[in-house]
Amino acid sequence: MGESRAVFVLGAAPYATMLGFALLVYFLVYPWIVYIKDSKGLRQFPNMSLFSGMSDLPFILVAHGGARSAYLAKLHKDEPVIRIGPNSLSVGRVAAIKDIYGRGVPCTKDESYELTATKHYHLADVVDKPEHARKRRVLSAAYSLKTLENWEHKVADKVQRLIAQWDPRCTSPPMGNMPPGPEELTVDVRAWTNFFTLDAIADIGLSERLGFLDQGHDRVTGEFLNGHTEEFNLRECLYPTAHKQSLLLWSYDWYKVLDKLSNIIPFYRRMAKSGRGWDAIVLRRSNLRLNRYVAGEKTDDFFQALMEDKNGNQHQLEWDEVVAEVNIMMNAGSVTTAIAITNALHQLLVHRDVLAKLREELDAVLEPDEAIAPYDKVKHLPYLRACLDESLRLNPPTTYGLPRKTLRGTSIGISALVAHRDETAYPEAEKFIPERFLGEKGKDLQSAFIAFSAGARGCIGRNISYLEQTVLIGFKMRRLETMNHLLGEMPVKLWRRVRDAECN
């Protein structure tokens, strides 16, 4: 028995040696040859790290550190272009925005969008330009400003429900400069803001009342393809889905393999399970709305626009395509706005002088008894919009550089966090200065502002995001006082604001 085992080992040894040699050539020798040959001329750009010109691994490791874009921002202070992978460049100057993301440029979305897409692409991950144009035509009516104002009452309804939850949680004003006690931190702003955006986008998109604001939690039913239903915490399913992709995506050739192998590790396996839960939640929402549509219900929402045009003509989309569009609507339509609102609240709490100016502007246009700021009254307030844009500039909800493929096949992108710190466009870029977005200078800055990306592939839902941000920030800053305590879950002490006019 021992002799046969020895013969087997000796017989396998040459194959193991050949395999080891092949792996050595593939992972070390071949990348080195490609790097030295430099057929695309990328060696002229400084590497992010010593081995970035030969491997994507350094960038993946930086991504796992959780501060990828902040790390690039530091490097870009000295270098306008940095090589972050064998075939990938990061650009750090706003002057390149038009050339990469502008209308009519030859750059297309790169392979990363196809790698993470499902069978049917949605508007955000479709690469083919004619197909993107078709999708955008179908959805443009739903996202127009005219349609948006028809949905204002849905956002106002969610603000009213938020008031019903926050008013009872208000505490007495603080005594001097004493910090609040733990029992006074009655509101987790991050959680409630997310409940608000999720409830709002479900109503705007599907005319569905999720009820998160009423219930104070995000428990919801999901449905799998086999018809099995299960209860999930929506946010626990939503956020890990994108997190896993952001950690593993950067090696395009190996992403599919890494995505599967990583599930051996509990950390990644939990994220994969969360992703399946998110898909089930989206499918359940889509099926429920389809049943109402088939039953003849006509509602003014995103789903209706997916199914037919304003004249009632059917779009004849495949069902999987409809589900894909509902998926990105609920995902991007809630997450980015919740992040934007939370960051804006934080900036206003820290910069009390800015908050005072904003309140003067709000008090000048709103009646004393208006608990909810009507969108028609606040949508054109210059200082409110400047505060929102300056917060989005400093803390864009999506920070990584949305990658585009050049004609020579190189992946290139500009991180919004990096671009928004380009001192040529934004002097004192690390400071919160809303005034930079006022007047003609503010209009000129829009070409350097990519919180919603830019060009034909810019975020189609930016108007909805501004609607929700404007109405909620207007309500919050005019009605309530708050003392920031901790970031993370962001618990705060909340109390009702007393305006000077109310004291007279």
Residue 114 · residue 403 · CB < 8 Å: no
Could you give phi then psi for residue 337, rounded to 5 degrees? -70, -40
CB atoms within 10 A of CB 305: 21
The percent helix, strand, coil of the chain (3-state, each to 5) is 60, 10, 30
Per DSSP, helices labelled H in 65-181 are 68-76, 97-101, 111-116, 129-140, 145-150, 152-166
- Among residues 400, 393, 398, the alpha carbon closest in space to that of 69 is found at 400
Residue 372 · residue 424 · CB < 8 Å: no
363 burial (CB, 10 Å; 0-12 / 13-18 / 19+) is: middle
Task: Determine if residue 387 is labeled as part of a ligand binding site.
Answer: no
- Separation between Cα atoms, residue 328 and residue 366, nearest integer Å: 35
- Separation between Cα atoms, residue 380 and residue 113, nearest integer Å: 35
Could you give phi then psi for residue 374, rounded to 5 degrees? -60, 135
For residue 494, the SS3 value is strand
- Separation between Cα atoms, residue 448 and residue 26, nearest integer Å: 41
Q: How far is CA 355 from CA 28, 366, 372, 426, in A?
A: 56, 16, 18, 21
- Separation between Cα atoms, residue 446 and residue 460, nearest integer Å: 16
- Separation between Cα atoms, residue 93 and residue 71, nearest integer Å: 15
Residues 6 or more apart whose CB falls under 8 angstroms from that of 469 comprise 337, 340, 341, 344, 388
**What sign does the CA torsion over 132, 133, 135, 140 have?**
positive
- Which residues are paired to 169 by β-bridges? none
Residue 54 · residue 88 · CB < 8 Å: no
**What sign does the CA torsion over 41, 44, 48, 53 have?**
positive
Helix (H) or strand (E) holding 279: helix 266-294
Q: Per-residue b/e over 448-471, b at no fewer than 16 CB within 10 Å?
A: bbbbbbbbebebbbebbbbbbbbb
- Separation between Cα atoms, residue 128 and residue 23, nearest integer Å: 35
Residues of the binding site for heme: 459
**Known binding positions:** 459
